[in-house]
Chains A and B, each alone.
Chain A
Amino acid sequence: MIILIFWIGVYPDTFLSFMHPSVEHLLQRLHPGGQEMTAVAKIMEIIK
């Protein structure tokens, strides 16, 4: 449990990349035609 807590905290992309295709598919159903970036890419754009 302790390992998982730090692993997700330091390398979240391990888990986020797994869920990304499903989330993108769901978003296409919710917002047809909308182009969505990955969460990480969007955060980087906001920071820039």
Chain B
Amino acid sequence: MYLLIGVWGGPNRIYAAIKFFLYTLVGSVLMLVGIIVLYFYGGQTFDILELVKKTYPYEMQFWLFWAFFAAFAVKVPMFPVHTWLPDAHTEAPTAGSVVLAAVLIKMGAYGFLRFSLPLFPDAANSMIVPMLTLSVIAIIYGAVVCLAQTDLKRLIAYSSVSHMGFVTLGIFALNIQGLEGGILQMLNHGIVTGGLFLSVGVVYDRTHSREIKDYGGLASVLPLYAAFFMVFTLASIGLPGMNGFIGEFLIILGGFTASKWAGVLSALGIIIGAGYMLWLYQRVFFMETNQKLIGLQEMDTRRLSHYCP
């Protein structure tokens, strides 16, 4: 990913690639220290199944949890270590943004599920409140910042921060609804946000602009493209009958079971989410048609095939 951004990225690619590298490095170094401690304390083995069978004292679990958390929180990314993501998404080429959104940031959530929770269950149980708080902040903050964005990719990147807040909220609710919703939402986010980045790439290839103000009236110029974008937008919002609804509903249910405030505030995030996505759709596809967009060719079979996973 570092090379994808650094070599094939936009004008600010070096800044974005180095920022991405440094954030990941700092988190990974702390995790490496945690792995080494675990190796010596867990019977000199790296076998995860063997390490999970052992029980560690609470104080050790606490410090190791935070060491692993440093790496996974950067990867998710959780608030306040999310700032590399909008830069990386904005500068990455379309394919890089899709891989980043659909696969790479899920590694952090997978790490929580695969390592942090089973290895350090006592620490995870005692960290519910700070984890839910950080998740809710990510949901609300990511959604509010989206309202102020003028760049299409940057807006979708911040919506990823908000959506990944839902994933971590579900995971750290530590109940079955939250965990199943969190895992399902990882899949949902990969499909929907990957689709949104692909869609932005379709028009960026032709107009070479990601500024929302450079669009307008695209629905009359590219109706098929507008229909695809509408499906991704509605799925991102969480419309019933679409994948986003199931994931977010389970997460809110799980969050509400763990903490009433977390449930209520995360639901507020969905409302703001509907606001910024529909507003984006209105500004890009409706309103007055930008004269520069007239004559753009509708999606051909090759471009449509990009939507096949």
**Residues on the A chain within 8 Å of B177, using CB:** 39, 42-43
Find chain A residues with CB under 8 A from B121 CB: 29-30
The answer to whether A8 and B307 have CB atoms under 8 Å apart is: no
Contact A29 B52, CB 8 Å, known A5-B243, A39-B181, A43-B253? yes
A1-48 CB contacts (< 8 Å) to partner B: 1-2, 4-10, 12, 15-16, 19-20, 23-24, 26-27, 29-31, 36-39, 42-43, 46
**Distance in Å from the Cβ of A22 to the closest Cβ of chain B?**
8
Contact with A along B293-309 (1 / 0, CB 8 A): 00000000000000111
Instruction: Kindly state the separation between the CA atoms of A44 and B177 in the bound complex, as whole angstroms.
Output: 12
Q: List the B side residues contacting A36 at CB < 8 Å.
A: 175-176
Does A37 lie within 8 Å of B309, measured CB to CB?
no
Q: How far is the CB of A37 from chain B (nearest CB, A)?
A: 7
Specify which of B117, B187, B192, B232 is in contact with A15 (CB 8 Å cutoff): B187
Q: B164 contacts the other chain (Cβ, under 8 Å)?
A: no
Given contacts A24-B176, A27-B179, contact A16 B184 (CB under 8 A): yes
B243–A30 touching, CB < 8 Å: no
A1 touching B191, Cβ below 8 Å: yes
Asked if B176 contacts A39 (CB within 8 A), the reply is yes
Contact check, A12 vs B183: say whether CB atoms are below 8 A apart.
no
Write out the residue numbers on chain B whose beta carbons fall within 8 Å of the beta carbon of A46: 253
Residues of the A chain whose Cβ atoms lie less than 8 Å from the Cβ of B124: 30
Contact (Cβ within 8 A) A8 B192: no
Q: Contact at B176–A23, with CB atoms within 8 Å?
A: yes
Give Cα distance in the complex from A9 to B228, angstroms. Answer: 17
Contact of A39 among B180, B307, B308 (CB under 8 A): B180
- Which of chain B's residues have a CB closer than 8 A to the CB of A24? 176
Please, which residues of chain B bring their CB within 8 A of the CB of A37? 176
Q: Once the chains are docked, how many angstroms separate the CA of A2 from the CA of B240?
A: 15
Check B118 against A29 for contact (C-beta < 8 Å). Answer: yes
Question: Which A residues are in CB contact (< 8 Å) with B243?
Answer: 4-9, 12
Distance (whole angstroms) from the CB of B264 to the closest CB of chain A: 16
The residue in chain A whose Cβ has the minimal distance to the Cβ of B179 is: A23
Complexed CA–CA distance, A36 and B254 (Å): 13
Assembly CA distance A27 to B257 (angstroms)? 15
Q: Is the beta-carbon distance between A26 and B117 smaller than 8 angstroms?
A: yes
A-chain residues with CB within 8 Å of residue B188 when the two chains form the complex: 8
A residues in contact with B280, CB < 8 Å: none
Name which residue of chain A comes closest to B52, CB basis.
Answer: A29
Q: Could you tell me if B184 and A1 are in contact, using CB atoms closer than 8 angstroms?
A: no
At the interface, yes or no: B57 with Cβ under 8 Å from chain A? no
Chain A residue nearest to B124 in the complex (CB): A30
Q: How far is the CA of A16 from the CA of B178 in the complex (A)?
A: 12
Residue from B118, B187, B194, B243 whose CB has the most chain A CB atoms within 10 Å: B243
* B184 touching A8, Cβ below 8 Å: yes
Contact among B118, B187, B231 with A2 in the assembled complex (CB-CB below 8 Å): B231
- Report Cα–Cα, A44/B74, bound state, in Å: 36
Taken residue by residue from 172 to 212, chain B's Cβ proximity to chain A (1 for < 8 Å, 0 otherwise) reads as 00111101110110011001101100000000000000000
Leading 6 A-B pairs by shortest Cβ distance = A8-B243, A9-B242, A12-B246, A39-B177, A39-B180, A5-B235
